[in-house]
Structure 1
Amino acid sequence: MKHIHFIAIGGAIMHQLALALHRKGYIITGSDDEINDPAKSNLAEAGLLPAAFGWYPEKITTDLEAVVLGMHARADNPELLAAKKLGVPIYSFPQYVYEVSKNKKRVVVAGSHGKTTITSMIMHILKHQGLDFDYLVGTRVAGFDSSVKLTDAPIIVLEGDEYPASPEERRPKIFFYHPHISVLSGIAWDHINVFPTYENYFSQFEQYLAGMDKETVVFYNNEDTEVQRVIAGSAGHVKTVSYDTPPFHYVDGTAVMDTKAGPVSVSVFGRHNLLNMQAAIDVCMELGISEADCYTAIASFTGAARRLEKVKEEKNLLVYRDFAHAPSKLRATLNAVREAYADHHLVACFELHTFSSLNEKFLSEYAHSMDAADEGIVYFSHHALDLKGLPTLEKSIVKDYFRRDDITVIDNKEELETSVRNMISHKNKPVFLLLMSSGTFEGIDWNSVSSH
């Protein structure tokens, strides 16, 4: 029986991969210096939570089939050094996922934005059609018990990621999946801590395409000029198929796709999500599902967690949250809400939380990104700056970068709650509160907000 050891088992995807291999019958052990929920509870329930936190090189023996190394571990990690000394095979999680899916048809969704949504939509359609498949996705998806599944299924759907694979392997995760089918959803600079210039970031997608086999099919976003540029320059040896936003209209805030077979109402809204939906349908048709069956299936898709997810609804208030954190994501999400809910007063609240968004060198990228909102708040915490080792930010400087005179910048949690309550109350029309962050606004309970 294979024994796999995870260094930094508490990561969001790392622990899900560990659980998937555990379900497959592997012996799984792991270590980490800190594990928080939901990983802590998930590992404990499966009997995989380490007895004590910390690094224990004695856990590394020649009996191990492999070590899977997470990004949280440092290059001088004692267990990593022990594995090297003993000659135990060391993999990053994407390298190991490829190892266990070499004989599967691999679908990889790549790009700066839309990856999770497109991956989730593909999963939903395949499940609706009763196909047997494995998957790896970055969040909880309705109808699925976990975010990683590894069995003997003939297909695997993978959410790709341009972030480095591990401390030992600094190349992007997407380089290691070797897809038969891929989606390229968009290119917009991100991860400034790893890719200090846009040109450096763009080149990762050039290398991703250049490394593909000539039989690979790439579906690409024809509405993104940077995607068009990378396809023109680096994808001449593969089969490329463009996709665009399908025809649709709104009926009382519900998006209705105008298909050849007639109108199809869907549960997501926004041009970017309809564009994502088209990508998912194209992939599923490439996998052999009819267009009609794709439409039937997608009508019941309710979305991925924290991707334009409804938090609360009352008479004159809608509250949604979205994972948007990069400038292009803010624009797409705000424009989607503005179009679908044109009769609402749109209040947008955005938290600077990622390394890039909290870095003054990157902040100019956010110019005019919140213009679609009627009122806007930008929030950041000094605790987040400290955790990322970044210098303090002045509220006035942050405001200048957004290029909107009436935007409110707040660095205090209590003040944020008060300001939001004031903005959503006593309006002469219904209010749409949009919360955008890859964080949690320091744990604020948004269910408690009310327009009354």
Structure 2
Amino acid sequence: MRIHFIAIGGSAMHNLAIALHKKGYQISGSDDVIFEPAQSRLATYDLLPKEMGWDESRITADLDAVILGMHARIDNPELLKAQALGLKIYSYPEYVYEQSKSKLRVVIGGSHGKTTITSMILHVLNYYGRDFDYLVGAQLAGFDTMVKITREAPVMIIEGDEYLSSPIDRRPKFHLYKANVAVISGIAWDHINVFPTYADYVSQFGKFIDTIEENGTLIFCSADQDLHELVDKSEASVKRIGYAIPEHTIENGITYLFPDHTALKVFGDHNLMNLNAAKLVCEELDISAEQFNKAIASFTGAAKRLEIISADESTNVYKDFAHSPSKLKATIDAVKSQFDQRKLVACIELHTFSSLNKDFLKEYAGAMDKADEAIVFIDIKSFEQKRMEPFSESDVREAFANPNLKFFNDATQLKAYLLSLKYQNTNLLLMSSGNYAGFDLPELAAQLPR
């Protein structure tokens, strides 16, 4: 098979390219810019384009397929050439389905927790030496790539994003996988640039339920009222299993699961919910609750999900991917509840299209209320790059409904402020789906005054 990737540098795209290369396919690709770690990973497998930019001569009639990434535009010259030649053009979720349609497909959907639930499942399957393929949205310890596709594995675990599939396929990715076992972790409005109303957004999850294979299984968060109503209204012919927070206790900053007093390395109500979803999936894959608990005890979390940067007897510094209102609130609540005797300094960088939309910003109201020190950072360049009107400090305080909130749009000033605080008996939580304007977070953590 000869396959060409247009916009090969994307997170999922370059991992899929590597997975298919390992399967023995002939892979070529193009992009106008490729950042790390994609650049080094592609180079390792000799898949890095020799030159950056688009070149229609790369598209030839003998290609078996073209896979189109979201980074490409609809007038991309390579895409236009592929269309003119009548080549088969896939989005990456479409092609993942093509590669997995003979397997049992587990698809993890929802507005939050997808990566963690998927990671927990992979950890448990790996613990017991199961053979499985996967697609996950973060680099995991013990896994070389974020995508694995083989001929032999009977099961594929797929993190199912609700964002668009490609520039020419406006369907949400998770609609294309046709799950045998599906998870919905909850619904909280996101991607306002694509789904301008909450109703538009919710309807995508109803359509996702309809894509589950007949007599399949839907595992859903029963604590989410809107999701519960959606599941109840659905006429899909699927088994429905609801889940909530499992019984547990917290002792000296460690969470223990009942009934066996299993110590966990992760914490927070949202992670306990994620854990229950993963447990139910594993039961569908013939792993008992007891086996699951034994394996999950060694799970340390997905990258950038309450990931510890530094820790000592009085101060922990975490980085987390939280960026939407629901994720922000859940992450802050988790750290504050786990360490209720410590103060919490919480800083969120807003840089997604939704979070920089003035109409959407009010969705953050109350999200940081449990933090002792609440800080919002927006790199002024983010507004410039997205050609959006900048927020003022009063805009942010009003939207978050927090008069004590601090706001920064300059990274140097933010760093100086963080270093001016005292961190004795205090945790620092740094949240972003970006990179804090290139901050070296471990270096920052090392410099914090105790």
TM-score (norm 2): 0.98
Aligned to 2:301, what secondary structure does the other structure show? Answer: coil
Aligned to 2:234: 234
Partner of 2:339: 341
Q: State the partner residue of 1:251.
A: 251
Residue aligning to 1:220: 220
User: What secondary structure is seen at the aligned counterpart in 2 of 1:276?
Assistant: helix
Shift of residue 91 of structure 1? 0.1
SS at match of 1:123: helix
Equivalent in the alignment of 1:450: 448
Aligned length: 446
**Cα deviation 1:294-329 (Å, max 9, x = unaligned):** 111100001000001001113432100110000001
- State which drifts further: 289-298 or 235-244: 235-244
2:12 corresponding residue in structure 1: 13
Greater alpha carbon shift after TM alignment, 65-74 vs 209-218: 209-218
Aligned to 2:308: 310
Q: Note the residue ranges of structure 1 that are not aligned, 5 or more in a row.
A: none
SS in 2 for 1:378: strand
**Letter matched to residue 433 of structure 2:** S
- The one-letter amino acid paired with 1:85 is A
Selected match of 1:327 from 325, 328, 344: 325
Return the offset for 1:451.
2.5
Query: Structure 1 residues 235, 445: CA separation in 2 closer, same or farther (over 3 Å shift)?
Result: farther
- Is 1:169 the counterpart of 2:169? The answer is yes
| Matched position secondary structure for 1:229 | helix
How many angstroms does 1:423 deviate by? 2.7
Q: Distance in 2 between matches of 1:139 and 1:184?
A: 18
Which residue, 338, 353, 356 being the options, matches 1:355?
A: 353
Determine the C-alpha separation between the residues in 1 that align with 2:442 and 2:43.
29
Residue 126 of structure 1 corresponds to 125
> Judging changes above 3 Å, is the alpha-carbon distance between structure 1 residues 266 and 315 closer, same or farther for their aligned structure 2 residues?
closer
Find the counterpart in structure 2 of residue 381 from structure 1.
379
The equivalent of 1:158 in structure 2 is 158
What TM-score do the two structures reach when normalised by structure 1?
0.97
Look up the match of 1:104.
103
1:148-197 per-position Cα deviation (integer Å, ceiling 9, x unaligned): 00112110000000000000100100010000001000000000111111
CA contact (8 A) 1:350 1:435 kept: yes
Kept in 2, the 8 Å contact 1:192–1:355? The answer is yes
Q: 1:229 and 1:99 mapped to 2: Cα distance?
A: 32
Contact 2:179 2:211 in 1 (8 A): no
SS in 2 for 1:377: strand
Q: Distance in 2 between matches of 1:243 and 1:360?
A: 34
Aligned 8 A contact 1:348 1:433 in 2:
yes
Contact kept in structure 1, 2:61 and 2:85, CA below 8 Å: yes
Please tell me whether the aligned partners of residues 115 and 185 of structure 1 are also in contact (alpha carbons under 8 angstroms): yes
User: What is the percent sequence identity of the aligned residues?
Assistant: 49
Contact 1:347/1:423 (<8 A) preserved: no
Q: Helix, strand or coil: the match of 1:362?
A: helix
**Deviation for aligned residue 1:227:** 1.1
Secondary structure of 2:219's partner?
A: strand
SS in 1 for 2:326: helix
CA gap of 1:179–1:236, structure 2 versus 1, over 3 A, is closer
Q: Which residue of 1 aligns with 2:25?
A: 26
- Paired AA for residue 314 in structure 2: N
* Cα distance in 2, alignment partners of residues 124 and 61 from structure 1: 41
Aligned to 1:414: 412
Which residue of 1 is the match for residue 436 of structure 2? Answer: 441
Write out the 4+ residue segments of structure 1 that deviate beyond 4 Å after TM superposition. none
Q: Which moved more, 1:155-164 or 1:392-401?
A: 392-401
Deviation at 1:45, TM superposition (A): 1.2
Matches within 5 A, 1:265-276: 265-276=263-274
Letter aligned with residue 183 of structure 1: V
Query: What is the distance in 1 between the residues matched to 2:235 and 2:373?
Result: 42
CA contact (8 A) 1:424 1:433 kept: no
Post-superposition Cα deviations, 1:329-354, rounded to whole Å, max 9, x if no partner, equal 11111111111000111000011111
Report the Cα offset of residue 235 of structure 1. 4.8
- Are the equivalent residues in 2 in contact too, given 1:178–1:212 (CA < 8 A)? yes
Call closer, same or farther: CA 1:62–1:125 in 2, change over 3 Å: same
